[in-house]
Amino acid sequence: MSQPRIRTAPARPERLLMMGSGLTVTLIVIIVAVLLSREHASTLQAAKRATTNITQLINADVLRNAELYDLALKGLIAATARMDLNQASPEIRHMVQFDQSTAAPFKGEVLLLDAGGAVVADSSTLWPTPRNFANRDYFQAHQQNSQAGLFISRPFKIRCNCDQVWRIAFSRRVTGPDGEFAGVAVATMRLAYFDQLFNRLTIGNGSSVNLLNTQGILLAQQPLLERDMIDKDLSDRPNFKRILREGEGSFQAISALSGKERLYTFTNVGELPLIVVVALASEDVFAPWKRAALLTSGATGVLCIGLLWLTWMLRRELRRRYRAEQVLSELAATDALTGLANRRTLDQRLRLEWDRAQRSSEPLTLLMIDVDHFKAFNDNHGHPAGDEALRTVAQVIGGNVRRPADLAARYGGEEFAVVLPHTDVKGAWVIAEHIRSSVEHLPRVEGAQGPITVSIGMSTWDKHSRLSLETLQLRADQALYEAKHSGRNRVAEAAPKT
């Protein structure tokens, strides 16, 4: 049945609403992501500054104590070179030789070795115990290289009070009057010094402070990440190779020991062959940032979901309101009894199609339909039966008007109208005859003397006509009048007129 259709909500406003909401959510996510990224970078920079300060503190302390040990060695070598000490008593000679060594912290033995590696002077006693250290790395380094300078040995253990104590040795070459190798002055330091120094620093769980020499030997580590780490060779590790290559700085890399990412900050200890490395666990560095990021991301997610939900609710409400408006518009445009368009809609559509026909020069046909003898039918069968008959006729008319542009409407009372755009006389006659025939073959109402029939008047405008819209309607009425007075149940066409 041809009647005004309920249209869905316009797509464009909905698209604009969804696009606006989506764009807002995207901007919020981008802004939060940028802020979190900047905060991540700030956290990393703060960690780098903190670890740089730690390495500088360690650097200064180690360098100062290394200088004290070096002064003790230089004092021992200088005293040994004095010929007048040979005439002094053993007590005075011992005091002059080891006078500078008393200031060195965590000091172990300070020894003077001859060219064969035998001990000739010992800071702990006037009469040294016969020992030989020719096999030690520091002795061999000075024996083979006259330019070795201050040499720092690999860590080694010695027995002290029934316990094994880790130490390192600082040593210098002793040169004879003719420049020949005359021995080695050596001073040992207990590695407990580094443990005490590193324990004063707060670096977090999973992190470590390390001291290595330039050959990659680990001299000290706090806390120990593995057992037997002291004196371990790390020279083949990619991280150490990078540290040795760059000298000082910071970088993030995966630890070969733990397999976790760490922030490495490192620096050389003055001109000494020592490197201080502070390795912070990245999870410790970024733990506060991760908590803040999780909280911010959660709040942002709730905000975005809420915004999208409100947008969806608004869209649903707009659709509901639009449908309600369309229903009201449909009710205002529809005849309540028959379900066809009402007179107001007919007048609007007829004017629209008339104007369109004038522009396109396509034909336009108007059918006026009247139910025959309806007043008598209504009197004989009552108003309910009359209303039912009108609804049935309306269904037949609507069923024969199938094109989207066509319109079937109730004109008033028992009269109907059909607007047929782009339809000439021949095509309109076929449609009118189908309507007439279909109504005639409707089932008879019980008690009626004959079938329900309709009379149809038809008027057509084409490009050769000079009719006005009012004349078109008048001629359709006249054709209907002619059909009724010619016997009813027939189609009549308005006489041609230009």
Contact status, residue 354 vs residue 347, Cβ threshold 8 Å: no
Model confidence pTM above 0.75: no
* Angstrom distance (rounded) from CA 394 to CA 334: 12
- 3-state SS, residue 181: strand
Rounded distance, CA 193 to CA 201, Å? 14
Partners of residue 266 on adjacent β-strands: 249, 277
What's at 229, amino acid-wise? Answer: M
Tokens of residue 192, six digits: 């407990």
pLDDT of residue 3: 46
- Amino acid code (one letter) for 444: R
Q: What residue ranges in 66-195 does DSSP mark as E strands?
A: 107-113, 119-122, 151-152, 156-160, 163-175, 181-190
Q: Take residue 202 and report the two structure tokens written for it.
A: 């707060």
The Cα–Cα gap between 266 and 210 comes to 9
Among the listed residues 218, 69, 236, 211, the one whose alpha carbon sits nearest the alpha carbon of residue 154: 218
Coil/strand/helix, residue 162: coil
User: Which residues of the chain are modeled with pLDDT < 70?
Assistant: 1-11, 86-87, 100-105, 159-163, 204-205, 447-448, 496-498
Strands in 72-216 per DSSP E: 107-113, 119-122, 151-152, 156-160, 163-175, 181-190, 208-213
Domains of the chain: 1-201+281-330 (3.30.450.20), 343-493 (3.30.70.270)
Q: How far apart are CA 371 and CA 369, in angstroms?
A: 7
> CA-CA distance, 274 to 211, in Å (whole number)?
7
Q: Is the peptide bond before 223 cis (omega within 30 degrees of 0)?
A: yes
| pLDDT given at position 246 | 92
Element (DSSP H or E) covering residue 295: helix 287-333
